[in-house]
Structure 1
């Protein structure tokens, strides 16, 4: 399994979330208080580890998720910023990733959902975390819907 590393440049609340998730093997941190980001209630999160396209180092980030067939779905929103998040750029460069959902750790291959699959997964994710709609309105880029298929 690829090492999980917490990047120094992450906000403290994300570092804290990652630390709790990693140290407890997902028992603490699987659910995140969405009110911290403008949503409501507790939402499920997974840990995604990509390999930095510039550094070559593993980088781990917590992301809200839903199921997508045998895999999982995440949204590359970056809060509606004009550019894609670094983790998304990393998986474009190398789609082989590592995922942790609670204590379950596995390798996956990331792909961008398109067409009807994308639309269905987008609605599913908005049902979990409504601010995604505002994020899409805030940017000209089409926010990617990413499927993580176990390998």
Structure 2
């Protein structure tokens, strides 16, 4: 997908993402965990989490809402950026971050992470395209391999705040 096409999609979804994040944080996670993304090819009941990490350039704490899946107790997120030709900033930050945490509904955790490879990656990718079918077209629109991040909860922490 061209950066121009991605910019159009990003502009259309920006308000939705901001409102979603504010709702998720403002409610302590009682709202925002399950969203309807059928208008963009997803499912009416799609699970989302909040990912908290440190900006690699700014050093500030950033919270990003993302669709997730659960495979064998590991939480999976997809660095798709709508099929753009470059990785999303959150992924680049995670790759360089010492601290990573996520919140699902009202439960937050400090986490470790890894990227699946080879046969496991193919299995996880297939699972995640079932969670959010547009990932298939996102991958088809770019030459980069869209990264998958698998997180393991290490310990419970306080819920995220704005």
Shared fold per TM-score greater than 0.5: yes
1:47 and 1:63 in contact (8 A); partners too? yes
Q: CA RMSD in A?
A: 1.6
Matching of residues 1-151 of structure 1 within 5 Å: 11-94=14-97, 96-151=99-154
How far 1:131 sits from its partner (Å)? 0.3
Give the number of equivalent residue pairs.
143
Q: Structure 2: how far apart are the matches of 1:107 and 1:16?
A: 25
Is there any run of 5+ residues in structure 1 with no aligned partner, and where?
1-8
Q: Structure 1: how far apart are the matches of 2:88 and 2:105?
A: 23
* Secondary structure of the structure 2 residue equivalent to 1:139: coil
Is there any run of 5+ residues in structure 2 with no aligned partner, and where?
1-10, 155-162
Decide which structure has greater helix share.
Answer: 2
Q: Structure 2: how far apart are the matches of 1:58 and 1:114?
A: 29
CA shift in 2, pair 1:44/1:59, >3 Å: same
1:47 and 1:101 in contact (8 A); partners too? yes
How far 1:27 sits from its partner (Å)? 1.3
Q: Structure 1: how far apart are the matches of 2:93 and 2:152?
A: 16
Q: Structure 1: how far apart are the matches of 2:18 and 2:41?
A: 19
How far 1:36 sits from its partner (Å)? 3.8
- Scaled by the length of structure 1, the TM-score of the pair is 0.89
How far 1:95 sits from its partner (Å)? 5.2
Q: Structure 1: how far apart are the matches of 2:105 and 2:38?
A: 21
Q: Which residue in the other structure is 2:160 paired with?
A: none
* Secondary structure of the structure 2 residue equivalent to 1:134: helix
